[in-house]
Amino acid sequence: MNTEGVYQETYRPQFHFTARKNWLNDPNGLIYYKGEYHLFFQHNPSGINWGNMTWGHAISPDMIHWTQLDNAIEPDDLGTIYSGSGVVDWNNTAGFQTGEEKVLVCIYTSAGDHAPEKRPYTQSIACSNDRGRTWAKYDGNPVLGHIVGSNRDPKVIWHEPTGKWIMALFLDANTYELFSSPDLKEWTGLSVIHLPGAGECPDIFELPVDGDANNTKWVFWGGNGNHFIGTFDGNRFNPESEVLRTEWGANCYAAQTWSDIPGSDGRRIQIAWMSGGKYPDMPFNQQMSFPCELTLRSTPEGIRMFRQPIKEIENIYQKEHSFANQMLKPGENLLSGVPGELSDIRAEIELGNVAEIGVTIKGEKVHYSVTDKQLSCLGKSAHLEPLGDRIKLQILVDRASIEVFGNDGRVSLSSCFLPDPADKSLETYVAGGEANIVCMNVHELRSAWPESGA
């Protein structure tokens, strides 16, 4: 086992969330309350591999600097604690409030397969009256009984027009069901949604189109990133698009968005599990993606979702390296001498007559094929139409991941990798011609973890 300090280990991500030790997967219970972002997560507190599912818990003022707290929700006679969501019960609809603090309520799956006496999967709730520091399960659990298969992963939102809570629940295969409740305790079925190719971990949320608060659409999201854009009237979600994708990387799964971010902020922020990363000889296993702001924008193909890293990345900016209006020829490297261990790379490129252009990061290429209009990284690709004769890129580089965003987040590719720890190189390259680097800014990033490892 590596003997370096906690959070400083060789492959420890430095600005992506990881558990202090042991296994982590799906983000759960994402809540914002009184200046704190809460991140719960599927966690095995006693082992490096999946199992013994418990809700781990961390808080942050900015979704970058995290403090892991005690585990929040632990297995019981109904089962282990599978994925779910969280809300602030502002109006005390459940009647759980005992003091001046508003009640935080988490809704989760009781995985009966793993109960002391095997039983079906059901949905349960727990609440906190002290800003999430301690949690009490509801005596009346489960609040929603078994429906079919391993029904799981409840995502709950407050629907203001109908004055009710809405739950999106995965049922089986590619089928989900919507439910409503006045109090988070009693749930009534509303309608069924089929989202092909998605499987589990739903999310449902409303977004303005092109920033227009008077023109909104709803998104229904599945575990693998497949989603619909459509309408929701409090009873039925009506898809108005084909099945869409924005994220095309090798390691992005079970994404969920935060609830209760204040209207004065107005952002819809999403985080995902970077499923399948490798971290040999580390005390932790798996990491989260970097949080992204989601927007809906009009494109020639119709309304589409865009994903961009949150602006708080600037909280860990260090030295900047800037280039502007420089012709890049084959064999030239603008980034010679620029360290690339932890980086936020942003570029706008006039494609000129090149066939391919890209950045090699620690030996791995992020590249754009002009001929094929494909943005690629770590074996995965996404179609990306140029903006006229230009493309825009943002690339986040951590110790074990590369996340690429094309044309302000029209597509993203989030992937894990395992570079040589000694390789911190960055290189620009072109093939088949010359391109104009309109601008390129590389910010070196500092670690979000405390140096002491405390």
Residues known to be catalytic: 26
Q: What residues pair up with 428 in beta bridges, in sequence order?
A: 359
Nearest to 395 by CA among 426, 433, 435: 426
Distance CA 330, CA 150 (A): 55
Encoded tokens for 393? 């890129």
Contacts of 172 (CB under 8 A, 6+ apart): 148, 149, 150, 151
Distance CA 379, CA 321 (A): 28
The upper half-sphere exposure of residue 360, i.e. CA atoms within 13 Å in the direction of its Cβ, equals: 14
Look up tokens 């959070």; give the residue: 7
Contacts of 128 (CB under 8 A, 6+ apart): 103, 104, 105, 106, 134, 135, 136
Distance CA 108, CA 55 (A): 9
Contacts of 45 (CB under 8 A, 6+ apart): 22, 52, 54, 56, 71
Distance CA 370, CA 354 (A): 7
